[in-house]
Amino acid sequence: MSESAALGAKRPIRRALVSVFDKTGLEELARGLHAAGVQLVSTGSTAKRIADAGVPVTPVEELTGFPECLDGRVKTLHPRVHAGILADQRLEAHREQLGELGVEPFELVVVNLYPFAETVASGASDDECVEQIDIGGPSMVRAAAKNHPSVAVVVNPDRYGEVLKAVENGGFDLAARKRLAGEAFQHTAAYDVAVAGWFATYAEGDAESGAEANSPETGESAASSQFPSFLGTTYERKNVLRYGENPHQPAALYTAGGGGLAEAEQLHGKEMSYNNYVDTDAARRAAYDHTEPCVAVIKHTNPCGIAVGADVAEAHRKAHACDPLSAYGGVIAVNRPVSLAMAEQVAEIFTEVIVAPDYEDGAVEALSRKKNIRVLRCPEAPTAPAEFRPIDGGGLAQAKDAFQAAGDDPANWSLAAGEALSDEELAELAFAWRACRAVKSNAILLGKDRATVGVGMGQVNRVDSARLAVQRAGAERARGSYAASDAFFPFPDGLEVLAEAGVRAVVQPGGSVRDEQTVEAATKAGVTMYLTGTRHFFH
Ligand SMILES: NC(=O)c1ncn([C@@H]2O[C@H](COP(=O)(O)O)[C@@H](O)[C@H]2O)c1NC=O
């Protein structure tokens, strides 16, 4: 038989084993299978639902001759079940053995698993979580998937319609059974990753140094529970993208299944590209760093402008004004719903992507006047609690760079040079400090009226970043602006550039061996300087 003929070979379905936690669509499936002459065997409450729907069903106990026991821990774990799933019907020897054993084969297995991840997320006790580790279900799923030349396995209620169609048309062909088997192994693999990940966090302290190792007093164990010995996330491919960072790089989008940008709804525009996603991610990170209505305009992951305002339209006007030249073809993120007024403004500017938690009436229509702008709705704020970056042969994990009460609250900054700022001026400096976190290192950012006016990003020395920030601001806007530096000034030269441009105040972490020289330069120039003690590199 040719390969394509083999793949097209159907296996009629005569007998099905059904055991599902999620009973969505179960009655319709059972009715349809029965109507097509398929015999049903089922477990506990699944069998009860089927029987209640008026469909004949054989309880699995009748098949095994063994009662379900140990609170459901043992139901289907029996050779009469597993021999029926695992017999390779292509082999005469297997068919003969089944006959000798008096076991009938299954051609269809429909199973979905106990909700382990949902139980953990609900904050249930350890014992409750452990009880939700499904054992019999994955055993059946894996067995049926392995034996896909003889058995079709279904783990997703969305497929029930397909099952009923197949049953009426002589069963699934081999290609379809292979596809279903792949889906089934993905289902059990993701399930096991969730279980293994939970054990890695929960059991580690006990195993290493006694139960108290997980107590909050011991810093080391806190770190180890944040970085468990096993890290697993499973992703599902959502889209194949046209290409990656460059046209010769194939690329795809994967989702982790928990919402966020990867699952954002696209309301209008061309297909998102790889670079669009990268920039949109950076834009959302920048916009959500502020509690007031904020707009961030990003190009190549760096801000062309960030501003807060009384409303998003004002914030957008200010953010765009920072660097209108660079904002051409930019990516815009907003931390509030987009108003019609803001949408009208954006519609005038060539923009690649706009992402927001929502859109007010008429806003999407106004934006859609431009054919190509990609309009995304992403209701959730960015949440990643930890960051993981692949490197050759492994990966680096770190806690997210969240703002710290100690170093990021101006109330805790120390005045190192010049006169203390008024509350209003301090708020200006605090805006610059927050916005600076969104700039790739070395970062120097000038702000005025709660908007960036000059950004010096990504230079390999800090003095060049200072020059760039001043140059982009222009002499007039630089004068009297508020400057932030993501890390300390290693030499006073960067500060001197800012002072010469007439900045009013500077905020920086401090901590260089030459801090004194920088403080002296600021004092001499009459520039106020605050030290945060906290650094915000962004690479
Ligand atoms: N222990 C077993 O033999 C066993 N066999 C099937 N299950 C699971 O029991 C659930 C269905 O049970 P019920 O039909 O009672 O609602 C399914 O999610 C299935 O994956 C089992 N449960 C857990 O391991």
- DSSP codes of every residue in 209-263: H-GGGGSTT-HHHHHHHHS-S------EEEEEES-SSSTTS-EEEEE-SS-SGGG
Question: Of 140-154, 210-224, 425-439, where does mean pLDDT reach its minimum?
Answer: 210-224
Is the per-residue pLDDT at 211 higher than 70?
Answer: no
Q: Specify burial of residue 46 (Cβ count, 10 A radius: 0-12, 13-18, 19+).
A: buried
ipTM: 0.91
pLDDT band at 348 (very low <50, low <70, confident <90, very high): very high
Is the per-residue pLDDT at 224 higher than 70?
Answer: no
Ligand 1 atom closest to 22 (CA): 18
Catalytic residue among 94, 178, 300, 370: 300
Is the per-residue pLDDT at 311 higher than 90?
Answer: yes
Closest to 289 measured CA to CA, from 407, 408, 413: 408
- What CA–CA distances, in Å, run from 198 to 119, 186, 192, 204, 426? 11, 18, 10, 10, 44
Give the H or E element holding residue 113.
none
What counts of helices (H) and strands (E) characterise the chain?
Answer: 23, 21
Is the per-residue pLDDT at 243 higher than 80?
Answer: yes
8 A C-beta contact, residue 226 and residue 399: yes
Residue 43 CB less than 6 A away from ligand 1: yes
Ligand 1 pocket: which of 17, 29, 76 to mutate (most atoms <8 Å of CB)? 76
**CB neighbourhood size of 159 (10 A):** 18
Note the helical H segments in 53-91: 60-64, 79-86
Ligand 1 pocket: which of 71, 114, 154 to mutate (most atoms <8 Å of CB)? 114
- What CA–CA distances, in Å, run from 399 to 208, 287, 356, 388, 417? 22, 20, 25, 9, 32
- Residues listed for the chain: 539
The question of whether 318 is a catalytic residue gets the answer: no
pLDDT band at 218 (very low <50, low <70, confident <90, very high): very low
Mean pLDDT, residues 243-269 taken together: 96
Q: What is the pLDDT of residue 325?
A: 96
Cα separation, 410 vs 408, whole angstroms: 6
Q: What is the pLDDT of residue 201?
A: 79
| pTM of the model as a whole | 0.86
8 A C-beta contact, residue 293 and residue 309: yes
- Token pair 């790089």 is found at 249
Residue 72 CB less than 6 A away from ligand 1: yes
Question: Of 204-213, 244-253, 308-317, where does mean pLDDT reach its minimum?
Answer: 204-213
8 A C-beta contact, residue 187 and residue 154: no
**CB neighbourhood size of 128 (10 A):** 12
State in Å: Cα 33 to ligand 1 middle: 20
Q: Report residue 15: phi and psi, to 5°.
A: -140, 135
- Token pair 């301090």 is found at 426
Q: What is the pLDDT of residue 213?
A: 40
State in Å: Cα 341 to ligand 1 middle: 55
Ligand 1 atom closest to 73 (CA): 1
Q: Please give the share of the chain, as a percent, with pLDDT higher than 90.
A: 86
pLDDT band at 210 (very low <50, low <70, confident <90, very high): very low
Catalytic residue among 10, 78, 146, 178: 146
Q: What is the pLDDT of residue 216?
A: 39
Q: Per residue in 114-123, pLDDT tens?
A: 999 999 999 9
Q: What is the pLDDT of residue 233?
A: 86
Amino acid at site 318 = K
Cα separation, 417 vs 523, whole angstroms: 5
- Which parts of 284-424 are beta strand (E)? 294-299, 302-308, 330-334, 351-356, 374-377, 386-391, 394-399, 414-417
Q: Specify burial of residue 40 (Cβ count, 10 A radius: 0-12, 13-18, 19+).
A: buried
pLDDT band at 34 (very low <50, low <70, confident <90, very high): very high
State in Å: Cα 267 to ligand 1 middle: 41
State in Å: Cα 74 to ligand 1 middle: 8
Cβ neighbors of 510 (< 8 A, separation 6 or more) are 414, 416, 488, 531, 532, 533
Residue 114 CB less than 6 A away from ligand 1: yes
Question: Of 233-237, 271-275, 519-523, where does mean pLDDT reach its minimum?
Answer: 233-237
Q: What is the pLDDT of residue 203?
A: 54
State in Å: Cα 137 to ligand 1 middle: 6
The question of whether 400 is a catalytic residue gets the answer: no
Q: What is the pLDDT of residue 227?
A: 84
Q: Strand, coil or helix: what is 490?
A: coil
Ligand 1 pocket: which of 21, 155, 156 to mutate (most atoms <8 Å of CB)? 21
User: How big is the chain by its Cα radius of gyration, in Å?
Assistant: 31
Cα separation, 272 vs 264, whole angstroms: 11
525's tokens: 């120039």
Q: Strand, coil or helix: what is 332?
A: strand
- Vertex 533: Cα angle to 511 and 513 (nearest 5): 5
Cβ neighbors of 468 (< 8 A, separation 6 or more) are 444, 454, 455, 456, 457, 459
